[in-house]
């Protein structure tokens, strides 16, 4: 009898846990509110970065040389590690990043700094590719 009672308690606990998780998920923020001015600024920085990355990728492809493999890998790494701005979608045809929900939380102001750092890294890759294009060496 005691085993049956324990089994019923375990089943109840599992059921209540499942219901709690589903309830929490149902009332969680769906990001249907307007984004803050900081997030919009971060999004604009991200769009600039995506355009820059596309420009650099086209130049690497046009130069078609194994000497730029390192820069191409850096560019691919930066694109696959781009930080998504939750609630603001970009054109996914331009990236190969992970679009699963992230397990970090940063403020909107911090998101501006993250996006700016990402663009600065892209600019560094661009400078090296342009240097190779113009001078034939890195």
> Global pTM?
0.68
Q: Give the contacts of 120 (CB within 8 A, at least 6 positions apart).
A: none
Tell me: pLDDT of 120 over 70.
Answer: yes
pLDDT tens, residue by residue, 11-39: 665 555 544 554 444 444 454 568 899 99
Tell me: pLDDT of 138 over 80.
Answer: no
Q: What is the pLDDT of residue 109?
A: 95
Measured CA to CA, the distance from residue 129 to residue 119 in angstroms comes to 15
Count CB atoms within 10 A of the CB of residue 138.
11
User: Per-residue b/e over 2-23, b at no fewer than 16 CB within 10 Å?
Assistant: eeeeeeeeeeeeeeeeeeeeee
């Amino acid at each position: 009898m005691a085993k049956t009672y324990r089994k019923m308690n375990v089943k109840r606990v599992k059921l209540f846990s499942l219901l709690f998780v589903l309830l929490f998920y149902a009332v969680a923020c769906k990001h249907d509110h307007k984004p803050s001015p900081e997030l919009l600024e971060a999004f604009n920085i991200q769009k600039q970065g995506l355009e820059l990355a596309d420009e650099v990728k086209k130049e690497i492809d046009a130069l078609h040389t194994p000497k730029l493999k390192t820069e191409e890998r850096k560019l691919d790494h930066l694109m696959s590690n781009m930080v998504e701005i939750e609630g603001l979608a970009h054109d996914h045809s331009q990236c190969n990043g992970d679009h699963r929900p992230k397990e970090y939380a940063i403020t909107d102001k911090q998101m501006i700094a993250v996006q700016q750092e990402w663009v600065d890294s892209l600019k560094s890759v661009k400078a090296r590719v342009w240097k190779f294009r113009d001078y034939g060496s890195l």
